[in-house]
């Protein structure tokens, strides 16, 4: 490389390391940092808190509707707006965390989430609650990308195992949410599902200030504001239209077609801008190709089928089998136990198994659990049968989540937060689409329980169809 200019040497190095040109970052140190266990605990608690709030409101919808005198369409928006906010914020938070520092973005996210939780617990009408849930979602959506970067920075050569274990917390929190929501609504008040976050958030702020080390700012290029606006417009319009569809609007209604048309225009403009921009908000290589492009598609379909159905299980149990609401919420406990039991072992085995096999086996097992759940077996009590099916889907999630979380991350070691943000965005977008389409089908059916059984079978078919796509994911064994 003698005789080359500094720009040419940087370009050559970027080509060899698969890092984007123009972003100068120090090489990752493979030596784990001290106090990494404490750091892991701090950021894991934050991620668990944010993931629980994604689903904890589900069991309180009827109570919120009654006490705040809002219709079900507005009460359901307390869930939808949280998912929408996370989808918009995750990729932005990931890029900002890579550029401005993980600790700074993480702290801002925890503060915003805690303050918004307090205000949600004190809301006096449904419109105020929906708006505050949107603000809470900004903080919750920024937590996972920044926290993933913090974990990757602290665990060095063990970052693959640490990130696999850490990101497995997110689906567990989503599973536990409805259970905790049922406990709070039954034993206290719906306001408790928000107020409980306040002391936890304050403790996290104090621990983060004291124990999270300061990170020297990384050299960064200017913020691509045009790309941010186009991506935000794309996601907001697309998800708003899907949410309207989930509220029972016809497919050919302007409430659905207009925002989706805006989303298509924004998508075209975003692709053109990203392709030709000097320093795009999301590099094109993170959106397309055999590595990132395939994994983004898998995450979207996985979110629709595996994550989306979880929010529908209590409703399915109530409508088809007449199981009481609190008992229906606890059905997801079996799913959580299955996930927790397998996820740790799957993380430890990743360096031997690689990414493809755990995803393939996990997706097939989840599909089997979904098919079981859609079947009514008169000779077995409904609660027992649904619990067994739920546990089976949990085992499949425990197998597949660590591998799908780590897949392709070795291709962009200096952009861990950005990749994590995109992964979360695609999964949440898929989840919203799955839930919205399912609720639209249920709304137009005289037998909601039977309709959901069909939906679960379709979800199972989607996961089976994803299996061939997994074979296109770049395989990797060992640490990175």
In a domain, 141, yes or no: yes
Distance CA 191, CA 99 (A): 37
Identify the domain boundary among 215, 250, 271. 215
Residue 212 pLDDT grade (very low, low, confident, very high; cuts 50, 70, 90)? confident
Note whether 425 and 87 are within 8 A (CB). yes
Calculate mean pLDDT across residues 331-345: 79
Is pTM, for the whole model, over 0.95?
A: no
In a domain, 21, yes or no: no
Other CB atoms within 10 A of residue 289 CB? 15
Residue 372 is predicted with a pLDDT of: 94
The residue ranking higher by pLDDT, 262 or 63, is: 262
In a domain, 395, yes or no: yes
In a domain, 9, yes or no: no
Cα three-residue angle 130-134-140, rounded to 5 degrees: 135
In a domain, 12, yes or no: no
Other CB atoms within 10 A of residue 478 CB? 11
What's the sign of the alpha-carbon dihedral 279, 285, 288, 293? Answer: negative
Residues 298 and 391 reside in one and the same domain:
yes
Residues 208 and 229 reside in one and the same domain:
no
Residues 303 and 267 reside in one and the same domain:
no
In a domain, 241, yes or no: yes
Residue 4 is predicted with a pLDDT of: 41
Say yes or no to pLDDT of 108 above 90.
yes
In a domain, 20, yes or no: no
Residue 37 is predicted with a pLDDT of: 86
Residue 24 is predicted with a pLDDT of: 33
Residue 74 is predicted with a pLDDT of: 67
Residues 173 and 297 reside in one and the same domain:
no
Residue 25 is predicted with a pLDDT of: 35
Residues 320 and 465 reside in one and the same domain:
yes
Say yes or no to pLDDT of 203 above 90.
yes
Q: How many domains does the structure of the chain reveal?
A: 3
Say yes or no to pLDDT of 476 above 70.
yes
Cα three-residue angle 333-164-345, rounded to 5 degrees: 65
In a domain, 247, yes or no: yes
Q: Which two tokens stand for residue 416?
A: 């861990």
Percent of the chain with pLDDT over 90: 20
Note whether 182 and 325 are within 8 A (CB). yes
Residue 342 pLDDT grade (very low, low, confident, very high; cuts 50, 70, 90)? confident
Say yes or no to pLDDT of 371 above 90.
yes
Residues 16-55: tens digit of each pLDDT: 333 333 333 344 457 777 888 898 999 889 988 888 887 7
Question: First vs last Cα of the chain: how many Å apart?
Answer: 26
Calculate mean pLDDT across residues 347-375: 92
Calculate mean pLDDT across residues 440-458: 82
Residues 245 and 299 reside in one and the same domain:
no
Give the CATH number, domain containing residue 404. 1.20.1250.20
In three-state secondary structure terms, 389 is: helix
Residues 47 and 185 reside in one and the same domain:
yes
The average confidence (pLDDT) of the chain is 80
Residues 122-158: tens digit of each pLDDT: 998 888 998 999 899 899 888 888 888 888 888 877 8
Calculate mean pLDDT across residues 82-108: 81
Calculate mean pLDDT across residues 464-480: 87
Identify the domain boundary among 215, 241, 265. 215
Residue 8 is predicted with a pLDDT of: 40
Say yes or no to pLDDT of 425 above 60.
yes
Residues 195 and 234 reside in one and the same domain:
no
The enclosing H or E element of 160 equals helix 159-167
Say yes or no to pLDDT of 111 above 60.
yes
Say yes or no to pLDDT of 466 above 80.
yes
Residues 216-245: tens digit of each pLDDT: 555 555 667 788 788 778 877 887 787 676
Identify the domain boundary among 280, 310, 327. 280
Residues 241 and 256 reside in one and the same domain:
yes
Residue 19 is predicted with a pLDDT of: 38
Residues 230 and 254 reside in one and the same domain:
yes
Calculate mean pLDDT across residues 329-352: 80
Residues 170 and 238 reside in one and the same domain:
no
Q: Which of 166-180, 308-322, 393-407 has the lowest mean pLDDT?
A: 166-180
Residue 468 is predicted with a pLDDT of: 94
Say yes or no to pLDDT of 247 above 70.
no
Residues 96 and 125 reside in one and the same domain:
yes
Range of the domain at 441: 284-480
Of 327, 296, 321, which Cα lies nearest the Cα of 472?
296
């Amino acid at each position: 490389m003698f005789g080359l200019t500094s720009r040419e040497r940087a370009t050559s190095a970027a080509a060899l390391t698969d890092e984007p040109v123009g972003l100068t970052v120090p090489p990752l140190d493979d030596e784990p940092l001290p106090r990494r266990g404490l750091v892991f605990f701090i950021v894991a608690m934050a991620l668990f808190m944010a993931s629980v709030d994604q689903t904890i409101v589900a069991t309180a919808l009827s109570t919120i509707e009654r006490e705040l005198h809002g219709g079900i369409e507005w009460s359901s928006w307390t869930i939808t707006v949280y998912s929408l906010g996370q989808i918009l914020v995750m990729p932005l938070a990931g890029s900002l965390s890579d550029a401005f520092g993980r600790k700074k973005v993480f702290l801002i996210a925890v503060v915003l989430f805690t303050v918004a939780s307090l205000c949600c617990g004190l809301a006096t009408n449904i419109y105020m609650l929906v708006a505050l849930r949107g603000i809470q979602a900004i903080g919750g959506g920024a937590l996972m990308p920044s926290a993933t970067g913090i974990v990757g920075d602290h665990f060095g050569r063990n970052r693959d195992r640490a990130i696999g274990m850490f990101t497995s917390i997110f689906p567990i929190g989503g599973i536990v949410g409805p259970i905790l929501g049922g406990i709070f609504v039954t034993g206290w008040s719906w306001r408790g599902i928000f107020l409980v976050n306040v002391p936890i958030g304050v403790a996290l702020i104090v621990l983060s200030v004291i124990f999270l080390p300061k990170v020297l700012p990384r050299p960064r290029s200017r913020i691509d504001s045009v790309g941010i606006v186009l991506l935000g417009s794309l996601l907001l319009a697309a998800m708003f239209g899907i949410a309207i569809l989930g509220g029972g609007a016809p497919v050919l209604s302007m409430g659905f077609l207009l925002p989706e048309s805006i989303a298509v225009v924004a998508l075209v403009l975003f692709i053109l801008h990203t392709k030709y921009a000097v320093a795009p908000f999301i590099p094109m290589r993170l959106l397309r190709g055999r590595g990132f492009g395939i994994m983004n598609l898998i995450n979207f379909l996985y979110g629709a089928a595996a994550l989306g159905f979880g929010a529908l299980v209590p409703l399915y149990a109530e409508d088809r089998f007449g199981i009481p609401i609190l008992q229906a919420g606890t059905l997801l406990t079996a799913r959580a136990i299955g996930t927790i039991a397998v996820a740790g072992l799957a993380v430890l085995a990743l360096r031997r198994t690689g990414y493809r096999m755990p995803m393939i086996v996990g997706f097939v097992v989840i599909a089997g659990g979904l098919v079981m759940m859609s079947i009514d077996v008169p000779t077995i009590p409904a609660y027992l049968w649904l619990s067994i099916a739920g546990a089976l889907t949990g085992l499949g999630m425990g197998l597949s989540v660590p591998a799908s979380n780590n897949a392709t991350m070795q291709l962009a070691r200096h952009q861990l937060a950005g990749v994590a943000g995109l992964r979360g965005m695609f999964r949440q977008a898929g989840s919203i689409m799955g839930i919205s389409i399912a609720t639209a089908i249920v709304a137009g059916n005289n037998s909601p329980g039977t309709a959901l059984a069909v939906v679960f079978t379709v979800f199972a078919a989607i996961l089976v169809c994803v299996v061939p796509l997994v074979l296109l994911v770049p395989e990797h064994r060992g640490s990175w």
